[in-house]
Amino acid sequence: TQLLEQSPQFLSIQEGENLTVYCNSSSVFSSLQWYRQEPGEGPVLLVTVVTGGEVKKLKRLTFQFGDARKDSSLHITAAQPGDTGLYLCAGPPTDSWGKLQFGAGTQVVVTP
Amino acid sequence: DTEVTQTPKHLVMGMTNKKSLKCEQHMGHRAMYWYKQKAKKPPELMFVYSYEKLSINESVPSRFSPECPNSSLLNLHLHALQPEDSALYLCASRSTATNQETQYFGPGTRLLVL
């Protein structure tokens, strides 16, 4: 099984601070997705990274895919209360076509 | 448009009831998924349909019965559920036209079994 380990599990910061969430594996993934989920709602896709070393920016969010395609990070600059949510990374395991392996998630709380 | 819709938004049912959850997408995706999610945990895969045929059943109890009437619709029929089945049920879809594995999720149905 290709596990995805997310860290930290929980992050509480104040508005205006920066934060980074990590998603690591010992296995290679062909792509990784990042989702944000609010309580009682479905995960909303933020980004898909495909190429090793890729960096994608979405306003204040910066996503990196490791050169070896085994890890990824999400960096939020100047966090806002609207960034609060459960952040999930997910990727397709090579031995299970059509499935997604999820990380355990990082709960981010941004207080005003 | 990357929208997956689910109805109902909330559902309360007794252990002897029969109910159905519905999911719809009009993105032309030919792979559709049901997931179950408990609070503060990642989604757990239940079923996968590929080209309207059931391709993966993750050993889900028979009280959950999926159905894919056409390429846009996915149902989950519920019968004789247990209180521990209370959870957020998520539908997702994925394009089979590309190699990308990105799944798009619906808003979910919050189910409470009494």
CB atoms B102 and A33 under 8 Å: yes
**What rounded mean pLDDT belongs to chain A?**
94
Query: CA A19 to CA A82: how far, in whole Å?
Result: 14
Query: CA A28 to CA A24: how far, in whole Å?
Result: 10
Substitution target in A38, A97, A108 with the highest count of B β-carbons within 10 Å is A97
What is the rounded radius of gyration, in angstroms, for the C-alpha atoms of chain B? 13
- Residue A86: C-alpha distances to residues A8, A32, A80, B42, B77 (Å): 12, 16, 14, 9, 28
The amino acid at residue B55 is S
Query: Tens of pLDDT along B51-89?
Result: 999 999 999 999 999 999 999 999 999 999 999 999 999
Tokens for B59? 């050993």
Mind telling me how many Å the CA of A50 is from chain B's nearest CA? 9
Select from A98, A83, A97, A89 the least CA-distant residue to A9.
Answer: A89
Task: Please tell me the predicted confidence (pLDDT) of residue A100.
Answer: 92
Query: CA B44 to CA A88: how far, in whole Å?
Result: 13
- Does any CB of chain B come closer than 8 Å to the CB of residue A76? no
Q: Would you mind telling me the total number of residues written for chain A in this entry?
A: 112
B 8-67 residues with CB below 8 A of A?
31, 40-43, 45, 48, 50, 55-56
Closest by Cβ to A107, choosing from B40, B43, B88? B40
Q: Which residue stretches of chain A have pLDDT < 50?
A: none
Closest by Cβ to A98, choosing from B55, B88, B90? B55
Per-residue pLDDT, averaged over B12-40, amounts to 95
Relative to beta strand A85-91, strand A32-37 is antiparallel
